[in-house]
């Protein structure tokens, strides 16, 4: 190559590269401006939480949420909106859940409890028994059958307060909720009471999934969560009198699976329609609150990604799809079904993004990616820096997109600030008023910006 | 230098440097663990907001807050706790503030308003007049005396929603509140109504300082803030009928200055007692809410810095001082007096840190520093990275420490996430329940860590 020609090429390259950068910066600025001044995520969430409300898989509200999602996506002129059929578990809380600490003959104190998702009911007259408090499964095992048989096991290990990311604190505690009943049942316990997964001391019991594993039906025992204040109280009362009785009554039930749906909407790619970029959250929620942070926020942010791209008249090169997954909370049937449909249809997913960590100020993204893919992503950080979302890390992305993992598809999760998440998670206070409009919108804008860059460059 | 000797020195250097790094990491981990598991900031704030409440300069509550600050600092065994005397303005809201849009004979709609700090009252029967809506001073000026005389001026420029840092949005809007009355009065207006500095649409009017500059007493006119919903309503009504009347009645008053105090506490340095590191926030607040975010949070975080250092048995090399500044909101007399005392006593301040941007998740610090000083600070970023507070920028630090600026002292401000700040700022909802315990504690821990490093290295 002669020098002048090489130089011209170099200048051309610099020019193209600079002008590309400047285009991307402009597009991302447009995304943020639209999200913050003409956003629709907050209004959608208002409807989903306040007009529909909690939407546990298999419930009437879950059905209404599917209809709503399909209708709203149809309103924004996507190229295609459709449902994917699947079967989901159906667990129903029932009409009462009630507990008290019996401190003496005729004396008792009520404590706030809620049934754990998947739990069986107590006998209709309730269950009364002594209580053994433990912090973990080792302590449970060392107490053994002779100390456990016929009693309630009270799991009271608090989430560790000194971990900065509250999801780490959750991971270190949630085994009590998910496996506690099965472990205690094998030692003859009559029921379990689990300290709520909440870093605050308050009166809200937090539900969530539990399962009995391969425990035979006749050995299964009821499981309930107790509020953190209730747990503190029960623990103090036990330290004064470890012979006290606890009373629990709940009438939740498991029913056979019922049909449900993922909701899917997409904009067809203009250059590489067969390369799919998918963004989503889960449409189901627990039944106590309105599923505002978990995961109404993720749902409306994901819908907003496609709405913003349409609004700015962007014609994607690749196919951009939003999926409202059903049944993340107690079965993951939606995520599993979606990956199966994708495989059966020979679809190529290059990127899957999930928002399922609350509608708080976004701090960054996590990625499941090869080193090369992650390097590409890291090179985009300067685009995000002005928006204060620049913590890009490798790590687990999201439950619903997990089944897409194949070593080629890049998986990613939005990571908002986590400090307040477990104040609301799976509890009656996960409602619309716990959402800040701007924080929600910044998340939607960050997701849209990332999807835009993936669409521009691919992997 | 011979080679083996040089190598030994190098190894020694690496060893010392690694061991220092590891000591710092351990100390900072201890700071965070203590702040998050045995913190006292939240409990302090509970008292300051719920037992004392709003504490405007010159009020009885401000006096109670001074006493409380002095007592609490005395409890944590500092080497010295004392008060600095100063005079502060005294403005009193009075017993009523009331406004309505008069839509026709006998027809009116109440709108939520509050007097702006420093405003005069209306006549005791109230003020009724036509309204001219403007967005800015240019529009006001171009309307001129003939259109303004005898009317209310309604400043209705919303905070721009598309700026990521909400303090930038505040800067772009607050001139309406601070100078609006003086400008309108010169054109013959009878009063001003200012849209609240709030990014949300809600019913809380937000107060804040205004001043008449050199406007003669007889020309001064009353100024009130209207809630954002109220502003939207008034604007719509005006677009239907620009001849409607507005009615405002308020009985706030300015009194002569009264004595007050800064509260100061310190731990004497062991090696360089004459090098002072000062940390603080402002003890006064507006009177509508309880001053939880503004600036109860900064007060208790600053107190917590010294408490944590004592708690971990740290013996500082330099003198570490906490100052609870009086009268940031409407006069800055505390900050001004503090700098004057420092000068009169020939004190050398190497570092001044302020927390006055809310008790939200800390994102970083801003610094007023020389390039060399900022390089030193930037080299500490790795210590903060695990705690997700690593946005270090050059920029304006804090109002109370501003008077210390001399080109040598490094000034710094804690920068928490700003999205929710103006939801509460100067309004009746700036109360304890708007504070998340962990977010508050993370701020205190970040400040303590920074103070620790400054104490270790100096500048």
Note whether residue B412 is domain-resident. Answer: yes
Query: How far are the Cα atoms of B55, B292, B396, B427 from residue B328, in angstroms, in the given order?
Result: 11, 15, 16, 16
Residue A2: pLDDT band (50, 70, 90) is low
Query: How far are the Cα atoms of A118, A186, A219, A424 from residue A179, in angstroms, in the given order?
Result: 12, 11, 14, 22
Last-in-domain residue among A218, A251, A284: A251
B219 — contact with chain A (CB < 8 Å)? no
Strand stretches in B196-317, DSSP E: 223-226, 245-250, 253-267, 272-282
Note if the pTM is more than 0.90: yes
Which chain B residue lies closest to A159 (C-alpha atoms)?
B37
Same domain, residue pair B190 and B282 = no
Which chain A residue lies closest to B436 (C-alpha atoms)?
A420
Query: How far are the Cα atoms of A29, A374, B98, B239, B345 from residue A379, in angstroms, in the given order?
Result: 18, 9, 56, 50, 52
Note whether residue B26 is domain-resident. Answer: no
Note whether residue B41 is domain-resident. Answer: yes
Note whether residue A201 is domain-resident. Answer: yes
* Residue A333 confidence (pLDDT): 98
Same domain, residue pair A301 and A190 = no
Residue A112 sits in which domain range? 94-251
Note whether residue A8 is domain-resident. Answer: no
Q: Best of B361, B439, B443, B445 to disrupt the A interface by mutation (most A CBs within 10 Å)?
A: B361
Note whether residue B8 is domain-resident. Answer: no
Residue of B32, B161, B439 lying closest to A37 (CB–CB): B161
Q: What CATH number corresponds to the domain at position B281?
A: 3.40.630.10
The whole-angstrom separation of Cα B375 and Cα A406 is 44
B32 — contact with chain A (CB < 8 Å)? yes
Q: Yes or no: say if A73 and A81 are a contact pair by the CB < 8 Å rule.
A: yes
* Residue B115 confidence (pLDDT): 98
DSSP state string for A133-159: EESSHHHHHHHHHHHHTTSEEEE--PP
A145 — contact with chain B (CB < 8 Å)? no
For residue range B345-372, list pLDDT tens digits in order: 999 999 999 999 999 999 999 999 999 9
Same domain, residue pair B176 and B236 = yes
Same domain, residue pair B229 and B101 = yes
Burial class (CB in 10 A: 0-12, 13-18, 19+), A341: middle
How far the first Cα of chain A sits from its last, in Å, is 30
Residue of A36, A417, A436 lying closest to B361 (CB–CB): A417
Note whether residue B23 is domain-resident. Answer: no
Same domain, residue pair B192 and B276 = no
Q: Yes or no: say if A200 and A226 are a contact pair by the CB < 8 Å rule.
A: no
Same domain, residue pair B76 and B138 = no
Sheet harboring A223-226: ordered strands across? Answer: A107-110, A97-104, A245-250, A127-134, A152-155, A191-195, A223-226, A113-115
Q: From A286, A279, A240, select the one nearest A133 (Cα to Cα).
A: A240
Token reading at A63: 């059905």
* Residue A289 confidence (pLDDT): 97
Last-in-domain residue among A236, A251, A266: A251
Catalytic residue list of A = 328
Q: What CATH number corresponds to the domain at position A197?
A: 3.50.30.30
Same domain, residue pair B232 and B274 = no
Same domain, residue pair B321 and B174 = no
User: Are the Cβ atoms of A162 and B388 closer than 8 angstroms?
Assistant: no
Predicted confidence (pLDDT) at residue A84 exceeds the cutoff of 70: yes
User: Are the Cβ atoms of A388 and B164 closer than 8 angstroms?
Assistant: yes
Residues of B in contact with A437 (CB under 8 A): 200
Same domain, residue pair A63 and A161 = no
The whole-angstrom separation of Cα B9 and Cα A333 is 63
Same domain, residue pair A336 and A265 = yes
Q: Best of B41, B359, B438 to disrupt the A interface by mutation (most A CBs within 10 Å)?
A: B438
Q: Best of B308, B437, B446 to disrupt the A interface by mutation (most A CBs within 10 Å)?
A: B437
* Residue A7 confidence (pLDDT): 67
Same domain, residue pair A405 and A289 = yes
* Residue B3 confidence (pLDDT): 67
Interaxial angle between packed helices B297-311 and B437-457, expressed in degrees from 0 to 180 and rounded to the nearest 10 = 60
DSSP state string for A224-256: EEE-HHHHHHHHHHHHH-TT-EEEEEE--EEEE
Token reading at B84: 């600095």
ipTM exceeding 0.85, yes/no: yes
A439 — contact with chain B (CB < 8 Å)? yes
User: Are the Cβ atoms of A37 and B419 closer than 8 angstroms?
Assistant: no
Distance (Å) from the alpha carbon of B33 to chain A's nearest alpha carbon: 5
Same domain, residue pair B318 and B423 = yes
Domains contained in chain A, number: 2
For residue range B221-268, list pLDDT tens digits in order: 999 999 999 999 999 999 999 999 999 999 999 999 999 999 999 999
Last-in-domain residue among A251, A276, A305: A251
B162 — contact with chain A (CB < 8 Å)? yes
B388 — contact with chain A (CB < 8 Å)? yes
Element (H or E) spanning A202, and its range? none
The whole-angstrom separation of Cα B429 and Cα A429 is 19
For residue range B128-162, list pLDDT tens digits in order: 999 999 999 999 999 999 999 999 999 999 999 99
Predicted confidence (pLDDT) at residue A1 exceeds the cutoff of 80: no
Q: From A47, A67, A51, A91, select the one nearest A260 (Cα to Cα).
A: A67
Distance (Å) from the alpha carbon of B375 to chain A's nearest alpha carbon: 20
Note whether residue A10 is domain-resident. Answer: no
């Amino acid at each position: 190559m002669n020098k002048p020609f090489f130089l011209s090429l170099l200048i051309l390259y610099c020019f193209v590269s600079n002008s590309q950068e400047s285009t991307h910066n402009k597009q991302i600025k447009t995304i943020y401006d639209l999200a913050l001044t003409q956003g629709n995520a907050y209004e959608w969430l208002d409807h989903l939480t306040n007009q529909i409300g909690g939407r546990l898989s298999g419930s009437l509200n879950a059905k209404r949420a599917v209809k709503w999602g399909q209708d709203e996506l149809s309103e924004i002129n996507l190229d295609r909106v459709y449902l994917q059929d699947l079967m989901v578990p159906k667990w129903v809380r029932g009409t009462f859940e009630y507990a008290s600490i019996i401190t003496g003959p005729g004396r008792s104190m009520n404590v706030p409890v809620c049934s754990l998702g998947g739990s069986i009911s107590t006998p209709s007259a309730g269950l009364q028994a002594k209580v053994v408090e433990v912090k973990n499964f080792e302590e449970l095992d060392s107490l053994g059958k002779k100390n456990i048989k016929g009693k309630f096991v009270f799991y009271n290990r608090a989430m560790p307060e000194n971990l900065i990311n509250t999801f780490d604190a959750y991971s270190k505690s949630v085994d009590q909720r998910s496996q506690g009943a099965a472990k205690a049942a094998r030692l003859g316990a009559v029921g379990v009471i689990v300290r709520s997964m909440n870093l605050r001391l308050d009166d809200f019991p937090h539900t969530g999934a539990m399962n009995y594993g391969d425990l035979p039906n006749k050995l299964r025992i009821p499981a309930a969560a107790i509020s953190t204040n209730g747990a503190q109280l029960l623990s103090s009362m036990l330290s004064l009198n470890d012979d006290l009785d606890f009373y629990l009554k709940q009438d939740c039930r498991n029913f056979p699976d019922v049909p449900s749906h993922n909701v899917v909407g997409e904009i067809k790619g203009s250059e590489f329609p067969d390369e799919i970029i998918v963004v989503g959250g889960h449409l189901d929620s627990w039944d106590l609150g309105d599923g505002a942070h978990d995961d109404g926020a993720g749902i409306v942010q994901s819908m907003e990604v496609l709405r913003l791209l349409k609004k700015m008249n962007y014609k994607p090169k690749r196919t951009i799809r939003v999926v409202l997954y059903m049944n993340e909370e107690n079965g993951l049937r939606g995520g599993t079904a979606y990956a199966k449909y994708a495989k059966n249809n020979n679809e190529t997913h290059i990127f899957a993004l999930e928002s399922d960590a609350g509608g708080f100020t976004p701090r960054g993204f996590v990625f499941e990616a090869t080193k090369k893919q992650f390097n590409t992503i890291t090179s985009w950080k300067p685009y995000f820096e002005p928006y204060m979302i620049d913590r890009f890390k490798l790590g687990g992305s999201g439950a619903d997109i997990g089944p897409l993992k194949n070593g080629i598809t890049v998986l990613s999760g939005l990571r908002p600030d986590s400090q307040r998440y477990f104040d609301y998670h799976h509890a009656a206070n996960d409602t619309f008023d716990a959402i800040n409009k701007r924080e929600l919108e910044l998340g939607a804008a960050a997701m849209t910006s990332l999807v835009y860059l993936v669409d521009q460059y691919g992997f």
